[in-house]
Amino acid sequence: MKKKASKLTAEELAARHQQALHTYVREVWGPIPQETEVKLKSLKAWGFDLIQGLREGEPAVFVADAADGREAGDVYEERGERFEVREVLGELPKGARLIVRVTQEERRGVARLYYREPSGEVTELFALPAAELLLAYFKKRGWGKLLEAFHSSGLTTEFIQSRGTSGKAWPFEALPPKMRRALREGAATLKKRAGVGRFTLVYFGKNKDGDDRYVVTWLLPTIRLLDVSLAEHVEGLLAALD
């Protein structure tokens, strides 16, 4: 079979080659974490309240959107089920656990939250597309950079932040201090906080107004981003590039 010729010109191919050689990568790999135990404050940070009450007349623990402001005594219907609020839990009962698990289902990431009773009985509290949970969580926390850079979410979540037009990529030796610092902090974040993942940076110099032109990408375990401290840290790293 005859191969199709590239539609790129020789100059365009050379530019691609030059950019590829000067895109700097930091990565750490191993098993991608898919399950972790979380604290009640993490659930609240995602925008949910943990409630003890009745579900279809039976004692149950369930979650509600914190924005709805559910209180003891409230009765409401959701997705065809009747809920009665007995208590909005301020702390977990001794021995109880909240467990979040991220899986790949039907071509997308899904986050599932489970409540494990002190007795060991497990109840699934919700199953949401990971992207839906992350975007709502970022919005609630006011993390504009993570919202703007969000690209896709499965077992890992990708962020792409770019500024200005591309051009001739700079060699490492010529990178300004801010960009070298971004590479160091990217590597440290992967090693010390995320455990696994990938960070890339390509720098094109400044535009006529003196603004940096660059493209930065992050690939991080979705489940790690549900940790407020890590997500907030990455938000800060993205903001520092502007």
The answer to whether 200 and 107 are in contact (CB under 8 A) is no
Whether residues 43 and 157 fall in one domain: no
Give the residue from 129, 164, 199 where a domain finishes: 129
Give the residue from 103, 129, 155 where a domain finishes: 129
Whether residues 61 and 88 fall in one domain: yes
Whether residues 139 and 23 fall in one domain: yes
For residue 149, being part of any structural domain is answered with yes
For residue 110, being part of any structural domain is answered with yes
Range of the domain at 61: 36-129
Q: What DSSP character marks residue 201? A: E
> What is the reported pLDDT for 3?
59
> What is the reported pLDDT for 170?
95
Whether residues 50 and 161 fall in one domain: no
* 19 Cβ contact list (under 8 Å, min separation 6): 166, 169, 202
For residue 3, being part of any structural domain is answered with no
Whether residues 142 and 226 fall in one domain: yes
Residue keyed to tokens 């709502």: 136
**Which residues, listed in sequence order, are joined to residue 125 by a DSSP beta bridge?**
none
3-state helix, strand, coil in the chain (%, to 5): 30, 40, 30
Whether residues 79 and 118 fall in one domain: yes
The pTM of this model reads 0.89
Range list of β-strands (E), 31-155: 35-38, 48-55, 58-65, 75-78, 81-88, 97-105, 108-116, 122-129, 150-153
Give the residue from 129, 144, 171 where a domain finishes: 129
Q: Give start and end residues of each alpha helix (H) in 152-227.
A: 177-189, 222-225
For residue 194, being part of any structural domain is answered with yes
> What is the reported pLDDT for 10?
85
User: Coil, strand, or helix at residue 40?
Assistant: helix
Whether residues 56 and 125 fall in one domain: yes
Domain count, the chain: 2
The answer to whether 27 and 190 are in contact (CB under 8 A) is yes
Whether residues 180 and 153 fall in one domain: yes
For residue 102, being part of any structural domain is answered with yes
Whether residues 236 and 173 fall in one domain: yes
Q: What DSSP character marks residue 167? A: -
Whether residues 144 and 229 fall in one domain: yes
Whether residues 164 and 233 fall in one domain: yes
For residue 13, being part of any structural domain is answered with no
Per-residue confidence in pLDDT tens, the chain, 242 aa: 555 656 888 888 888 888 889 999 999 999 999 999 999 999 999 999 999 999 999 999 999 999 899 999 999 998 899 999 999 999 999 999 999 999 999 889 999 999 999 999 999 999 999 999 999 999 999 999 999 999 999 999 999 999 988 889 999 999 999 999 999 999 999 999 999 999 999 999 999 888 999 999 999 999 999 999 999 999 999 999 98
In angstroms, the CA 142 to CA 155 distance is: 24
Backbone angles phi, psi at 110, to 5 degrees: -130, 130
For residue 6, being part of any structural domain is answered with no
For residue 231, being part of any structural domain is answered with yes
Whether residues 90 and 26 fall in one domain: no
The answer to whether 135 and 150 are in contact (CB under 8 A) is yes
In angstroms, the CA 163 to CA 152 distance is: 19
